[in-house]
Amino acid sequence: MNGFEFQCGTKMIFGKETELRVGEELKKQGATRVLFVYGGSSIKKSGLYGKVVKALQDAGLPFDELPGVVPNPRVSLVRKGIALCREKGIDFLLAVGGGSVIDTCKAMSFGVYYDGDVWDLISGKVKPGDRRVPVADILTLPAAGSEESDSCVISDETTHTKTGFGSPLMRPVFSIMNPELTYTLPPYQTACGSMDIMAHAMERYFSHTQNVEMTDRVTEAILTTVIHNLSVVLEKPDDYAARAEIMLCGTWAQNDMTGCGRAQDWFNHGLEHQISGFYDIAHGAGLAISFPAWMEFLCGKEECIPRLAQYAVRVWNAEMNFDNPEETAREGIKRLRGLIKEAGLPLTLSEAGVGKEKFEEIADNMTNGGSHTCGAFYAFTRDDILTLLEMMA
Ligand SMILES: NC(=O)c1ccc[n+]([C@@H]2O[C@H](COP(=O)([O-])OP(=O)(O)OC[C@H]3O[C@@H](n4cnc5c(N)ncnc54)[C@H](O)[C@@H]3O)[C@@H](O)[C@H]2O)c1
């Protein structure tokens, strides 16, 4: 196990009807003027919008609204939000929605205190400072884990670039998590979210760092819990117990608890950001296509087989073939693909409507024209990425 620092100060407020406490909690945290940020019609249809407005009014908290966050959230709205925060003297951001809404608030929160264009922070040209408008959220979609993570991902729709930045100060001050709020998620979105949760667990799990047994075991528990409960909620969307399990997994898969003391990979997220930057597909769908193909590619790399086989045995209950561990590894991939198919997610780029026309550009972007490799568990060259993309096609 490597040395590490870990600090996660987000207060998690979990359970039925917890969203009704948002006003009093914001006040307790020192808010005097709030910007209520959300996406489209889904929170209005579900009645959550009205509950939030009432909770803010009951707490006597003045607030403004910024609707219009879209999946793969746009920097144009972040810029609009920054201007609004400055104009109205906002001192607390309240995100109500999934990762896209929370990430929009996180980017705004640092952008308010930066004099230049916020894309400088997002693109990593300038490091974020130590001042930010605090962020809180009511989570409606377990997936990104942004409710406790220290990073955000934003797209520039004019250049088709999707990238992100982070800071230890970026973690939300508190996150309200009521599993009942996720009953309205369509099956496809539920499946995409679960795939994203599994991907966060696997980006950390696939590591060559030795002696990380405790975080391995926690990660395996997250993966097996999501696998089991995803099947339950696809059958019965209002199963509170199963929704709660998935919601908690979403947060703990991405708050970096399971990443402590180990090298992490993040190749698949990098690849998916490229794909969804160009094609605007759901993040979880992109990961459903890339992860099994990535594992299959790695079956050809001897140094990766033991961990792939361990994953197959412990997560998928595959039988260990000590004479041929690659066969065990392939069984794990087969079972992962089975779940993805059952959940209605795409297994290939063509199923997701993505062609081959950007392959060269994607490989260039990920390796800076072939000048460096990408990924820690296995270092992909530009040519490797092209091979992998063909496998995903
Ligand atoms: N910050 C991080 O740590 C982190 C990590 C991984 C991914 N991300 C990013 O997060 C974004 C994806 O976030 P996401 O997966 O949470 O999805 P999302 O926020 O983009 O939402 C997806 C869709 O689900 C709808 N939705 C949300 N809650 C709903 C509900 N309860 N009922 C019905 N519909 C609902 C939204 O309106 C939206 O149309 C991507 O841009 C991804 O790159 C961020």
Q: Which token pair is 211? A: 């002696």
Q: Which residues contact 106 (CB under 8 A, 6 or more apart)?
A: 135, 146, 151, 152, 170, 172
> What pairing do the DSSP bridges indicate for beta strands 151-156 and 161-166?
antiparallel
Q: In the prediction, which pLDDT does 205 show?
A: 98
Instruction: Residue 18: name the closest of 147, 185, 159 by CA.
Output: 147
pLDDT per position as a tens digit, 23-69: 999 999 999 999 999 998 889 999 999 999 999 999 999 999 999 99
Q: In the prediction, which pLDDT does 148 show?
A: 97
Buried (b) or exposed (e) across 76-98, using 16+ Cβ within 10 A? ebbbebbebbeeeebebbbbbbb
In this predicted complex, what is the ipTM? 0.98
Under the banding of pLDDT at 50, 70 and 90, the label for residue 381 is: very high
Domains and CATH numbers, the chain: 11-181 (3.40.50.1970), 185-392 (1.20.1090.10)
| Average pLDDT over the chain, rounded to an integer | 97
Q: How far is the CA of 239 from the centre of ligand 1 (A)?
A: 21
- Answer whether residue 277 shows pLDDT above 90: no
Q: Which residues contact 218 (CB under 8 A, 6 or more apart)?
A: 252, 257, 258
Q: Which token pair is 345? A: 């997610």
- Pocket perturbation via mutation, ligand 1, pick of 69, 100, 139 by most ligand atoms within 8 A of CB: 100
Residue 227 three-state SS:
helix
- Pocket perturbation via mutation, ligand 1, pick of 41, 141, 226 by most ligand atoms within 8 A of CB: 141
CB 142 within 8 A of CB 247: yes
Instruction: Tell me the average pLDDT across 240-256.
Output: 98
Residue 332 three-state SS:
helix
Q: How far is it, in rounded angstroms, from Cα 200 to Cα 130?
A: 27
- Answer whether residue 280 shows pLDDT above 90: no
Question: Which atom from ligand 1 is nearest to the alpha carbon of 149?
Answer: 3
* Distance separating the N- and C-terminal Cα atoms of the chain: 37
Q: Which token pair is 269? A: 């997220």
- Answer whether residue 265 shows pLDDT above 90: yes
Question: Which atom from ligand 1 is nearest to the alpha carbon of 164?
Answer: 1
Query: How much of the chain exceeds pLDDT 70, in percent?
Result: 100
CB 307 within 8 A of CB 197: no
- Answer whether residue 329 shows pLDDT above 90: yes
Question: Which protein residue has the closest C-alpha to ligand 1 atom 5?
Answer: 144
Under the banding of pLDDT at 50, 70 and 90, the label for residue 137 is: very high
pLDDT per position as a tens digit, 334-378: 999 999 999 999 999 999 999 999 999 999 999 999 999 999 999
Q: Which residues contact 267 (CB under 8 A, 6 or more apart)?
A: 203, 294, 374, 375, 376, 377, 378, 380
Q: How far is it, in rounded angstroms, from Cα 188 to Cα 202?
A: 21
Instruction: Tell me the average pLDDT across 167-186.
Output: 97
Question: Which protein residue has the closest C-alpha to ligand 1 atom 34?
Answer: 185
Q: In the prediction, which pLDDT does 168 show?
A: 92
- Answer whether residue 161 shows pLDDT above 90: no
- Helical residues (DSSP H) of the chain, grouped into ranges: 22-28, 42-46, 48-58, 75-88, 99-111, 119-122, 187-205, 213-235, 240-254, 267-279, 283-298, 305-316, 325-342, 359-367, 382-392
Q: In the prediction, which pLDDT does 41 show?
A: 86
- Answer whether residue 160 shows pLDDT above 90: no
Q: How far is it, in rounded angstroms, from Cα 333 to Cα 327?
A: 10
Instruction: Tell me the average pLDDT across 139-164.
Output: 94
Instruction: Residue 142: name the closest of 247, 248, 13 by CA.
Output: 247
CB 373 within 8 A of CB 387: no
Measure CA 370 to chain center: 27
pTM equals 0.96
pLDDT per position as a tens digit, 185-213: 999 999 999 999 999 999 999 999 999 99
Question: Which protein residue has the closest C-alpha to ligand 1 atom 35?
Answer: 185
Q: Which token pair is 293? A: 């193909």
